[in-house]
Amino acid sequence: MNDRTVTANLALTLDGRYHGPEGPNDFGAFVPYVSTEVARDHLSRIWESATTAVLGRNNAEGFLGYWSPVADDPAADPRDRGYAKWLVETEKVVFSTTLTEAPWERTRLVSAPAAEVITELKSTGDGDILVNSSATLIKPLLAADLVDRLYLMVVPEIVGGGRRLFDDGLPATKWSLSRQETGELGELALIYDRVR
């Protein structure tokens, strides 16, 4: 068994939300922080060792729609271009119960439980498996204790509503802070490694 490292990244507000009270597309609290120097450096770190991107269908549609043109945009920040190029070119596993054919290259569609798919991926291939900003996948993986590293961007806002990443009922686990960086706007880029 290769036992690849499973990493996950997500941006959260101070009250632990990954979107605001208006629903899954309410990212207003995050907008001021996503293009800071700290955020861009953090973005570069999340993919540098990853060879597989794992996404939910909604994130895949949004991310690939937004980032694909950035890969070839000479005016884009080099860190943004690097991430975009990686996302377009890397192996992608997209969870969907509605798509019958992947509209993106190097993509495999799956509709099995996240823990089963990740367990299978861990035993094949090389490089990290990055669960890319898909909380609906990160949550069951945390519940199954399959996440080895968390890349969190915490923004200094309380939104007062919306979904939380860390729900009650998760198993007790211990994490070690391996990196912390604070941006000029008060955003925190954090890397936590699971202590096993």
User: Lowest mean pLDDT: which of 103-107, 158-162, 183-187?
Assistant: 103-107
| Partners of 4 in the β-ladder | none
Residue 21 has a pLDDT of 94
Kindly report, residue by residue over 74-89, the tens digit of the pLDDT: 999 999 999 999 999 9
Kindly report, residue by residue over 23-61, the tens digit of the pLDDT: 988 999 999 999 999 999 999 999 999 999 999 999 899
Please choose, from the candidates 164, 193, 179, 132, the residue with its C-alpha nearest in 3D space to the C-alpha of residue 13: 164
Please choose, from the candidates 178, 189, 180, 193, the residue with its C-alpha nearest in 3D space to the C-alpha of residue 79: 189
Count the alpha carbons within 13 Å of 72 in the hemisphere toward its beta carbon: 4
Kindly report, residue by residue over 133-181, the tens digit of the pLDDT: 999 999 999 999 999 999 999 999 999 999 999 999 999 999 999 999 9
